[in-house]
Structure 1
Amino acid sequence: MKLYPLFFFTFLAIAGCKDKPKPVANSIPRPTVSPDGNRIAFPNTVMMRSFTTQPTRSETIRTDFAAPGHVAAMVLKSSENPAERLVLFDDPSLSNNYTAILQHRINIQTERGNLERVKDLQAHGAASGKEVIEAQTQLANEEAAIISDEATLKLAGFDPEELRRARPNTILVVCEIPENQFGAITKGLPCTLNFTSFPNERFAGRIDNVNDYVDNTTRQIKLRISVPNPDGRLKAGMFATVGFGVTEGKFMTVSRDAVVTVQGRDYVFVQTGPQAIERRAVQLGQQRNDRIVVLGGLRENESVVVVNTLQLKGLSFGY
């Protein structure tokens, strides 16, 4: 009889455990990313606190820019034909192209004269229509061939017409600059060159050609720079560093911690709302200390994320 109270209280304890509700596990809130990765929305402002922002600002800074180059050609006066220029390239294949262009020009003039002669003979009954077609075909073949050789030279940074007009005793330096530096570079801009062979001297040059295309792999643009070489000391194939001067002005800048690079392109993340961030492609210029010049893609006083940008990079690009 004395054991009944013990069993009774044990039963109540077990029953109480059965009636107690079990805790429900809540899912962890996650940010929402747009299909193109350009917009990231956070479920609450608490998650946004880890992404500190700074406003873009404009400031007066001094920027300079330099790029490696090499002497790709020398221009000399032809001893056989003073009206023509003798161009010595450091790449033998370009020499072949330029020589072929000169020959094609001669052939085109010859074929044009021949076509006019055949047409005149046909008008007087001394030539057939077949002969006219053959003369037209010969001219067309020469015109097509010269286009191919001209394209090869232009891809290497040379314009055949400008080569024919280049001053004798001049070297032509080819260098490549990043796409994001192109905005500050224009044809006719003076520059200073330092050659490895003459480390203590500076040579004055001028940009006389900017290529019409950006290399799809390197995202570089070729420039051609002419440099007087009256004493012939500078030779084809020599290496140089090309300085494009110092520019002082008011430029928009961001912290270097704000920039991420993916497949050769630069991006920053801009806070556009209390719980929203947008990925923005930007064009960058020179870096000064911990700030980078922004040439395009941002507006004044936009809030750019400067902390935990790699986390945003992973969310935006999926890795």
Structure 2
Amino acid sequence: MKPIQLFIIITLLLAGCQRKTSQQLSPPLVSEPDPELKDGGRYIEFPANSKQIQLFTTVKTDNQQYQMSLSAPASVIGRVHKSGGKSLILFDSPDITGVYSAYMQNKSLDRTARINLERITDLYKNGAATGKEFNDASAELMSVQTSLAENEARLREAGLNPESLNRGPVGTVWLICDLPESELNLIKKGQKYDLKFPSFPNETFTANIDVVADVMNTQTRKLKVRLSMFDRQEKIRPGMYAEVKFEAPHKGLMIPKKAVISANARYYVFVKKATNVFERREVSLSSETGDYIEISNGLTIGEEVVTNNVYLLKGIDLGI
């Protein structure tokens, strides 16, 4: 046998021995037992020594002070304009313009009807006026006051206080913003807030809250809020839109947003109950800021909430 052939045979034999030795030394792969679902899936229990537990890091819940903020759209509904040396209120809606004109006319007629009724009443007491004249004067005043009340109600429904409209100086601008009832704790009458107009993206304006409507829209669960600002340069026009930023200090139980999952129109978190046990807990959400969200119901201070790989627990628990 040639030396080269002998060398090849020895090399192949050695390689075969090494593969066999390597196979004998490699430990067999052993899979972990699956976690167990308890109480209808409310609890997930992993084997005591499961390495999977390390995947689920947690944070302890606590009350945190934060700046609660909300941006909401607003529309300019009117402004006080100077025309011919007189103040004139311009509205964004012809309907509101008509209602306000009727309201002002009713105010004038109300004063006239009151004076007329006082005169007729005095004449009637002295026998110089008939009962019919007295009744007609009373009916006229009642009719004017009814119309006045109707127009005032329509103005207030639109978020306008007719009495304060008449006191606004030239350059006053009014805006209306619809706020959800859950966010009303962010606003305070008389407080100043920043707003931006798409027409002037590089400028920030300031407005005050003048009026918060007395009646809530039962269908949208929103309340009208009227703001006013002073526009000396006459940049802002009725019909323009703005974004109002409401901010207020607030304290609440905050957790990272990534800790919350949703399923079947409900919100859940996973609470660590023991080293290897996690509980699926339904929660109610409140306001949010940055990467955190406030939990209004379902958690107490000091509980440990899973923040990483939450969707792995969701898949184990809910199968989705």
SS at match of 2:190: coil
Instruction: Give yes or no for the alignment of 1:48 onto 2:49.
Output: no
Is 2:77–2:174's contact at 8 Å kept on the other side of the alignment? yes
Is 2:75–2:240's contact at 8 Å kept on the other side of the alignment? yes
Q: Distance in 2 between matches of 1:153 and 1:269?
A: 46
Residue 144 of structure 1: how far off its partner (Å): 1.0
Q: Residue 78 of structure 2 corresponds to which residue in structure 1?
A: 73
1:272-298 C-alpha deviation (Å, 9 max, x unpaired): xxxx9997766x223431x3225x557
* CA 1:251–1:94: 2 relative to 1, 3 Å: same
Q: Residue 232 of structure 1 corresponds to which residue in structure 2?
A: 234
Aligned with 1:188 (options 186, 190, 196): 190
Q: Distance in 2 between matches of 1:195 and 1:123?
A: 62
SS at match of 2:239: coil
Q: Distance in 1 between matches of 2:263 and 2:290?
A: 18
Q: Distance in 2 between matches of 1:120 and 1:261?
A: 76
* CA 1:241–1:106: 2 relative to 1, 3 Å: same
Q: Residue 301 of structure 1 corresponds to which residue in structure 2?
A: 301
Structure 1 counterpart of 2:253, one-letter code? M
Q: Residue 153 of structure 1 corresponds to which residue in structure 2?
A: 155
Is 2:193–2:206's contact at 8 Å kept on the other side of the alignment? yes
Is 1:65–1:286's contact at 8 Å kept on the other side of the alignment? no
1:12-67 C-alpha deviation (Å, 9 max, x unpaired): xxxxxxxxxxxxxxxxxxxxxxxxxxxxxxxx746431599997531233333211
Listed as ranges, the matches of 1:89-238 within 5 Å are 89-238=91-240
Residue 230 of structure 1: how far off its partner (Å): 1.2
Q: Distance in 1 between matches of 2:153 and 2:197?
A: 29
SS at match of 2:164: helix
* CA 1:208–1:298: 2 relative to 1, 3 Å: farther
* CA 1:136–1:300: 2 relative to 1, 3 Å: farther
Deviates more, 1:70-79 or 1:117-126: 70-79
Structure 1 counterpart of 2:254, one-letter code? T
Is 1:270–1:302's contact at 8 Å kept on the other side of the alignment? no
Q: Residue 252 of structure 2 corresponds to which residue in structure 1?
A: 251
Q: Distance in 2 between matches of 1:232 and 1:63?
A: 32
Q: Distance in 1 between matches of 2:263 and 2:208?
A: 32
Q: Distance in 1 between matches of 2:297 and 2:125?
A: 65
Q: Residue 23 of structure 1 corresponds to which residue in structure 2?
A: none
Q: Residue 6 of structure 1 corresponds to which residue in structure 2?
A: none
* CA 1:299–1:141: 2 relative to 1, 3 Å: farther
Residue 219 of structure 1: how far off its partner (Å): 2.1
SS at match of 2:166: helix
Q: Distance in 1 between matches of 2:261 and 2:107?
A: 51
Is 2:253–2:301's contact at 8 Å kept on the other side of the alignment? no
Aligned with 2:63 (options 58, 62, 73): 58
1:72-106 C-alpha deviation (Å, 9 max, x unpaired): 101135657x5xx5211101100111111110000
Q: Distance in 1 between matches of 2:84 and 2:261?
A: 56
Is 1:269–1:304's contact at 8 Å kept on the other side of the alignment? no
SS at match of 1:165: coil
Q: Distance in 1 between matches of 2:79 and 2:62?
A: 46
SS at match of 1:212: coil
RMSD, aligned CA? 3.9
Structure 2 counterpart of 1:301, one-letter code? I
The normalised TM-score by structure 1 is: 0.68
- May I ask how many residue pairs the two structures share in their alignment? 259
Is 1:76–1:168's contact at 8 Å kept on the other side of the alignment? yes
Residue 255 of structure 1: how far off its partner (Å): 5.6
The normalised TM-score by structure 2 is: 0.67
Q: Distance in 2 between matches of 1:255 and 1:215?
A: 33
* CA 1:46–1:101: 2 relative to 1, 3 Å: closer
% identical aligned pairs: 30
Q: Which runs of 5+ in 1 are unaligned?
A: 1-43, 311-319
Is 1:58–1:300's contact at 8 Å kept on the other side of the alignment? no
Is 1:71–1:238's contact at 8 Å kept on the other side of the alignment? yes
